[in-house]
């Protein structure tokens, strides 16, 4: 009897369809792999293992570099987040020798955020807005039907695709502009304001850029959410 039950259990397990991945997890996975992993690697190597800033940046660049090359060779597609983190790390490597002057160190941090801003703006200009992967999990809400609707809209397979893609580019443009303004403010402040002031004002600039990006980003995100909802309920969604 036990052997029969076991056989039935095995047959049921084999016949059962594989569980589809959660769209929320799938949407956030690139950020975890391409952004969080290199950053964690840098801080671990520099702060915990005691490697120099240059060595820590160099080693933490290996993973996004590999992800970028693999994407180009296997999928013939540029992994934008991995390429962005690689660009930031390379900029950091180029600026590691800027030491000894507190003003230059503050300006260096601004230059790194400026690298991110320019990369985000460039992705919007070439029609592959990198911030879309950040926004997608929040608009699809982990719902498979909404995720499928997003893919149709982003892939040009829906009637409202042109409007959707325009708002996609706008969303990345808003965030890129906000971060570029933060970079400019930090660099200007580094050479015009007292260092003691910039020590705390730099953080205020960054938080202000994030707040501006979040609030102004709704200009693009709200229409995108409505388009996703409409596409989810469209007859073609079946």
Structure confidence by residue, pLDDT tens digits, 31-42: 666 667 777 777
Burial class, 15, CB count within 10 angstroms (exposed 0-12 / middle 13-18 / buried 19+): exposed
Quote helix, strand, coil % in the chain, to nearest 5.
80, 0, 20
Q: Within this chain, do residues 122 and 172 fall inside the same structural domain, yes or no?
A: yes
149 and 122 share a domain?
Answer: yes
| Residue 127 zone, left/alpha/beta (φ > 0; ψ -120 to 50; rest) | left
Establish if 146 belongs to a structural domain.
yes
- Are 47 and 72 within one domain? yes
What is the C-alpha to C-alpha distance for residues 10 and 18, in angstroms, rounded to an integer?
A: 14
In this predicted structure, what is the pLDDT of residue 49?
83
| pLDDT attached to residue 99 | 60
Shared domain check, 216 and 107: yes
Same domain, 93 and 197: no
Regarding whether 88 and 107 lie in a shared domain, the answer is no
**Which pLDDT score is estimated for 18?**
47
Whether 231 is covered by a domain: the verdict is yes
d(CA 75, CA 69): 10
CA 94/CA 88 separation, integer angstroms: 10
Number of domains the chain contains: 2
- Which residues of the chain have a pLDDT value below 70? 1-35, 72, 75-81, 96-101, 235-238
Q: Is residue 64 part of a domain?
A: yes
Q: Output b/e per residue, 29-61; b: 16+ Cβ within 10 A.
A: ebeebbbebbeebbeebbeeeebebeebbbbbb
Q: Could you tell me if residue 11 is inside a domain? A: no
Q: Domain check: are 80 and 131 in the same one?
A: no
Q: What's residue 86's pLDDT?
A: 72
Residues 42 and 113 in one domain: no
Q: Final residue of a domain: which of 60, 76, 97?
A: 97
Residue 118 and residue 55 in one domain = no
> Are 238 and 192 in the same domain?
yes
Domain that holds residue 71: 23-97
127 and 225 inside one domain: yes
Residue pair 219/166 in contact by the 8 Å Cβ criterion: no
Let me know if residue 149 belongs to a domain.
yes
169-193 in b/e form (b: 16+ CB < 10 A) is: bbbbbbbbbbbbbbbebbbebbeee
User: Rounded CA gap, 130 and 124, in Å?
Assistant: 7
75 and 118 belong to one structural domain: no
In a domain, 5, yes or no: no
Residue 47 included in any domain: yes
Confirm whether 3 is domain-assigned.
no
């Amino acid at each position: 009897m036990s052997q029969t039950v076991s056989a039935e259990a095995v047959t049921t397990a084999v016949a059962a369809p594989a569980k589809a991945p959660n769209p929320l997890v799938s949407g956030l996975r690139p950020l975890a792999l391409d952004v969080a992993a290199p950053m964690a690697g840098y801080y671990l190597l520099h702060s915990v293992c005691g490697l120099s800033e240059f060595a820590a940046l160099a080693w933490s660049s290996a993973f996004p570099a590999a992800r970028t090359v693999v994407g180009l060779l296997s999928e013939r597609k540029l992994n934008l987040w991995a390429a962005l983190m690689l660009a930031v790390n390379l900029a950091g490597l180029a600026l590691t020798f800027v030491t000894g002057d507190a003003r230059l160190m503050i300006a260096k941090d601004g230059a790194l955020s400026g690298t991110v801003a320019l990369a985000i703006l460039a992705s919007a200009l070439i029609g592959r807005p990198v911030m879309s992967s950040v926004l997608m999990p929040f608009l699809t809400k982990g719902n498979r039907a909404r995720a499928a609707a997003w893919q149709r809209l982003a892939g040009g397979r829906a009637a409202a695709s042109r409007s959707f893609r325009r708002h996609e580019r706008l969303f990345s443009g808003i965030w890129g502009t906000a971060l570029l303004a933060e970079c400019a403010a930090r660099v200007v402040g580094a050479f015009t304001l007292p260092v003691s002031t910039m020590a705390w004002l730099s953080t205020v600039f960054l938080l202000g850029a994030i707040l501006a990006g979040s609030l102004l980003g709704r200009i693009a995100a709200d229409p995108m959410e409505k388009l996703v909802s409409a596409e989810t309920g469209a007859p073609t969604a079946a």
